Amino acid sequence: MSDHILDSVDPAHFARTLVHTGLRAATNPVGVTSALLKAGATAMRVGAATMAKAANTADPDAPPPVAPEPKDHRWTNQQWRDNPYFFGLQQTYLLSRKLVDDIIDAANLNEAEHRKATFAASFAFDALAPTNLLITNPDALSTAVATGGASVVKGTANFLRDVQHNDGWPSKVDDSGFEPGLNMAMTPGQVVYRSNLIELIQYQPQTEQVYETPLLFCPPWINKYYIMDLAPQKSLIEWAVQHGHTCFAISYRNPDESMRNTTFEDYLHQGPLDALRVVREITGRPKVNTVNVCLGGTLTAIAMAYGAAIDDQPVGTATFLNTLTDFSDPGVLGAFTDEPTVAGLERKMADQGYLEASEMARTFDAIRANDLIFQYVVNNWLLGEDPPAFDLLAWNNDSTRMPARMHSSYLRRCYLQNQFAHNAFEIDGTPVIPGHITQDCYVLSAIDDHIVPWTAAYRTATLLGGHNRFVLSTSGHIAGIVNPPGPKARHWTNDHIAEEPDQWLEGAEQHQDTWWEDWARWIGERAGKKVDAPPHLGSDDFPPADDAPGLYVKMRPGDSLAA
């Protein structure tokens, strides 16, 4: 009972991590004393600088005793530098955070403990920042004066709405104007297969001739598939169709309690392997090229190794977008995937049969809390602004649940045990070895990805046994994929796969266009000859049913399968 209570209050065990860190730091009095003395000396400089500003004798060009990070957008208002009240607040806050970081260093934690303690402290300080309160935020105060208090009234209304409808979290997006099939997921196609787990969509050709090898898009099961078909001119699927590929996409069902015992193997066999079977039967082609996003790539890589093990390989080539196959360095996400946190999630999922979509989404938000949480505290609650209407954020808000047994298996076998990279993963008792994958692979990562660090995603190019190409894109986890041609698009290439990612980057060449162009050439060379486009979608055994984007993508929690 006590574990359930603690799990609900502190699901990631952050408070317990900080208590443990404090106890460990107490065993190193020399290190703690050094940190305190250092902080004390800086505090004296902060006090002197603040008094000088109050007396109007400060050197305007003098750097502050504690400089904020250059990319930290919270301190852009000139008042944080000129006004002694706000300057003192900012400097005291930054100094306190630096002191806590130094004490964590003095605790002599192992790498995993240090990562979690650092993240927990960082999140706590992000939440306690003076920018998050009306009376200590100069932008909020000046806006309140300029609007005669209207911004405070509107912000209070936004806050109360989020308490009632968003579990007290600030809304990131106004998604009321977005709907799959209406202005998102618009590429024409039809559902040609539906099982209890997936729908398979085939897209209408838009060229007279197509490559003979079909292309299957495999999304992560924790998000809706249409990140790959976001909107016209922002759709990788549309791009592929217009470049002459016969395209299919998997759309996963949103799980409910009835799927609590669905396994990882079920997702493998009934997800990509089942879709590959249907694509081969419809097209009559022995091989299928695949495009795989995030967790969908992890699943496909395991499917490819399984195919090699049983000598039945349906995959021709694989494109992996922001995918982990070696989980030895999961980045900040490792703070949420240690043994105590996973055990707590398992207890919670045992009660309801699944992990609620919002919980995983908020975990991802917490990794970049200032950008994805507290920015909206300021904008929506303090400044009284409405959340933006933005298609990428609307998709991000449309996430799915995860079945209890499957999600537990994934976390333990991948994040905790890293079985696939250690040649210890088995499917139905059959060992699956990543080095036995011999197909060509295109591995894409985004340089600012906060969920799958690019240096970790790079290991897919060295772990799998085929002839692999690694490409690095700009932007983050989502925008790195939705990266259509435009003036801001750029990417890096290097034909040589170095042992370490930094070595690869040193020899990489930057290109002033989207990686979509590079990929189009790469996949076109591996898609076979051109043939006449099929006159209709599906086949006699797999007749078209609903128009794309199908039924599953529109299912909300509580909807029945028959709805």
Q: What is the pTM of this model?
A: 0.93
CA pair distance 114, 132, nearest whole angstrom: 26
Contact 16, 10 (CB under 8 A): yes
pLDDT at residue 357, rounded to an integer: 86
Query: Of 218, 247, 294, 441, which one is the catalytic site residue?
Result: 294
Tokens of 443: 């591995």
218 catalytically annotated: no
Q: Residue 549: is the preceding peptide bond cis (ω within 30°)?
A: yes
Measuring CA to CA, which residue among 549, 200, 557, 493 is closest to residue 354?
557
User: 107 pLDDT band (50/70/90 cuts)?
Assistant: very high
**Residue 560 pLDDT greater than 90, yes or no:** no
Contact 360, 518 (CB under 8 A): no
pLDDT at residue 502, rounded to an integer: 97
Listing DSSP states for 222-253 in one string gives TB-GGGGG-STTS-HHHHHHHTT--EEEEEE-
Query: Residue 445 is inside which H or E element, if any?
Result: strand 441-446
Helix (H), strand (E) counts: the chain? 22, 16
Question: Mind listing the pLDDT tens digit for each residue in 154-178?
Answer: 999 999 999 999 999 999 999 999 9
The DSSP bridge pattern shows strands 315-321 and 189-194 to be unpaired
Residues 549-563: what's their mean pLDDT? 75
Query: Residue 54 is inside which H or E element, if any?
Result: helix 29-54
pLDDT at residue 9, rounded to an integer: 60
Measuring CA to CA, which residue among 485, 482, 435 is closest to residue 460?
435
Question: Mind listing the pLDDT tens digit for each residue in 4-20?
Answer: 444 556 777 888 899 99
Helix, coil or strand: residue 471: strand
pLDDT at residue 555, rounded to an integer: 85
Question: Mind listing the pLDDT tens digit for each residue in 235-294?
Answer: 999 999 999 999 999 999 999 999 999 999 999 999 999 999 999 999 999 999 999 999
Tokens of 486: 């435009």
CA pair distance 203, 448, nearest whole angstrom: 31
Residue 200, beta-bridge partner list: 193, 250
Tokens of 192: 């040609």
Question: Mind listing the pLDDT tens digit for each residue in 186-222?
Answer: 999 999 999 999 999 999 999 999 999 999 999 999 8
The rounded mean pLDDT for the chain is: 94
